[in-house]
Chains A and B, each alone.
Chain A
Amino acid sequence: MTSTVSTSAGSTAQVGTAVARVAQLTDQVYAALREVRDATVTALRDSLGAAPAPVVADLAALRPLLWRRLGALIAGIGFIAAPGLLADAPWYLEWWQENPSGRPVQLLRDLDPSSSAFYDYTHWDWYTGPQAGVEHTICGPYVDYLCTDEYSLTLSVPVTVSGAFLGVAAADVFVRRFEAAVLPALREIPGPAFLTNAEGRVVASTTARWITGAAYRGAPGFTAHPIRDLPLSLVAADT
């Protein structure tokens, strides 16, 4: 995506408000993820580098927190262990999903990559980003055919102790909910405006020309405004 950063006269204030709104929504999710990160470190700290090594059961301590953070924007949340971290499971997700008809449900998957074609999670962007040390990763919008069958965003942060990478704290946000939350602010901007991820995939939009899910590859007369240090941009027509 080609983009120039500038402010255009006329809609500056509304663009600024919309940028702040998007930042505020993602902050809500990242605040929850920092809590999950801290709780994970607390749960595992004592057994790290010691014998016995951490086990799956140690992560059960996260559950009350994970359950509390479900709802509103967050449809699924949890900790994804780096392969080999846990003594009793080479691959593991402590992952919980909201359940409209009752208690949260845990995602259980066949996590043996030798028997499942699907679930080597280490190649997904929500894992590779934090693994490479990126603090704020946003994966998607993408069709989440593994967990929810929904068009989703996955936000993630690294979990580390003294520089050692333990895994990833992540949360799923349905695009339709994120879209509903940012659209009022986008609509205040005169002319077409839309939110894209770092690659140019449209997350929410006020124009049918680039609707949610479309690829924005740059266009004359449009300017991309960064959203702080986040891998998101607000694209608005120059006025």
Chain B
Amino acid sequence: MNTARLAVFAPVDSTARVEAVVRRLTDAIALGLLTDGEQLPSEAELAAQLGVSTVTLREALMALRQQGLVETRRGRGGGSFVRAPDSLDVGVRLRAYAVDELRDLGDHYAAIAGAAARLAAQRALPSDLAPLRRSLAEMATADWDGRLRRLDGRFRVEVAAASQSARLTQEEIRLQADIGPLLWLSRDERRGHDEMSVRRLLDQHQTLVEAIAAGDGDRARALAERHVQDAMDHLIELRLRLQE
């Protein structure tokens, strides 16, 4: 049988499966569900849990290793370990994006965050607001940057979930995986992890929660869009400076 025919009979969407596994694990790492240094289950175990073949899983792990998100050590005490991108250099990450890509990502993220915030304001009930307030309270007392970042991610997912839309929530999680770490790193670069910058972030979130609680959908949307656009404007400025 020639190669072309073999390709025809290759398992359907095995590439899509690899991508799905890569995306799932990338999301989990970006959101802090999987943490730096954490050991992943054995290949056989992980493949079984994710419902994919070992071959598919190995391909996905290879891609994650190339992205620096997973490290594999051989021998005794070996295995695959998570490498959270906390320490990734903004410049290195940013060079991978053209300015128009950043703008487009920002447009997409603002649309998702804005739409989710508007629907959340229309639909949120007290049990949807409680997690938001709890996350803000925890953020106010977070004692290190990694924890603050994870809580910030959780807060944004909770706002999206308050919209009652599973698709918007999935999209929020995906976009956080794509652009979240970069936005966070740029924030560090801009202001450092000092009390002022944390205060400002909390104030932004607090204002958004109030708009949602008041049922003011237009205001909630405008605020959520503004927050994304501000952060993205800054990221684009950083990117433009890299070219000089």
Contact = CB atoms under 8 A, between A and B. Distances in A.
Given A123-B131, A123-B134, A199-B125, A118 B33 contact: yes
Contacts of A200: 125
Contacts of B41: 108
Interface residues of A, number: 28
Contact of A215 (B124, B153, B170): B124
Please report whether the interface of chain B is mostly helix, strand, loop or mixed according to DSSP: helix
Nearest to B161: A143
A162 interface: no
Contacts of B165: 143, 213
A29 B48 CA distance: 28
Interface residues of B, number: 34
B34 A118 contact: no
B123 interface: yes
A118 B27 CA distance: 13
A116 B32 contact: yes
Contacts of B173: 145
A22 to B, nearest CB: 20
A99 B127 CA distance: 30
Given A117-B151, A143-B161, A201 B49 contact: no
Interface of A: 99, 101-102, 105-106, 108-110, 115-119, 123, 125, 141-143, 145, 149-151, 199-201, 213-215
Given A145-B170, A149-B166, A213-B165, 12 more contacts: A101-B51, A115-B35, A117-B151, A118-B32, A118-B150, A142-B161, A143-B160, A143-B163, A145-B160, A201-B125, A213-B164, A215-B124
30 contacts: A105-B49, A110-B33, A110-B34, A115-B38, A117-B32, A117-B153, A117-B154, A118-B33, A118-B154, A119-B33, A123-B134, A125-B127, A142-B128, A143-B160, A143-B161, A143-B165, A143-B169, A145-B157, A145-B161, A145-B169, A149-B169, A150-B166, A151-B164, A151-B166, A199-B126, A201-B164, A213-B164, A213-B165, A214-B123, A215-B125
